[in-house]
Amino acid sequence: MKRILTAAAAVLALTGGLALTAPAVAADCPSGHFCTWQEAGFGGQRANWSGDDGWWEGWIADTDSSWANHGISGPGVKDHVRVYESAWQGGAMTICLAPGQEVGYNGAANDRGDSHTWAMGC
């Protein structure tokens, strides 16, 4: 009977260890910047800005698949990032990120960004 209990305890300990999840990968984006990557999960080539950009470079326009807002927050500071589907903040907003928010993938926003602006909120 003792062997059965010991074996059961070993199985519980093993399956409990398998149930653990890996920690999330933090986006490599400089402090004070908004970043976007060409691939989901913060992979591929990265573009980053500390201010607004009304016309993203050709290589990142319409190829954005993950995003991070590492902007600086404070009273009266525009610390949210709004991404738009057309140049000069035109068309629909594809995604909006709060300060510190990182999005590894969003199907509705994927491959649609062409410009962005810093704002007081979403």
Average pLDDT, the chain: 85
| Other residues' Cβ atoms within 10 Å of the Cβ of residue 105 | 13
**DSSP label of 87:** G
- C-alpha 58/C-alpha 61 separation (Å) is 5
pLDDT band at residue 7 under the 50/70/90 scheme: very low
CA 108 remoteness from chain centre: 14
CATH code that applies to domain 2-119:
2.60.20.10
- C-alpha 25/C-alpha 17 separation (Å) is 20
Q: Amino acid identity of 39?
A: E
pLDDT band at residue 9 under the 50/70/90 scheme: very low
Token pair belonging to 35 = 């970043």
Report pLDDT digits (tens) over 12-24: 333 343 333 333 5
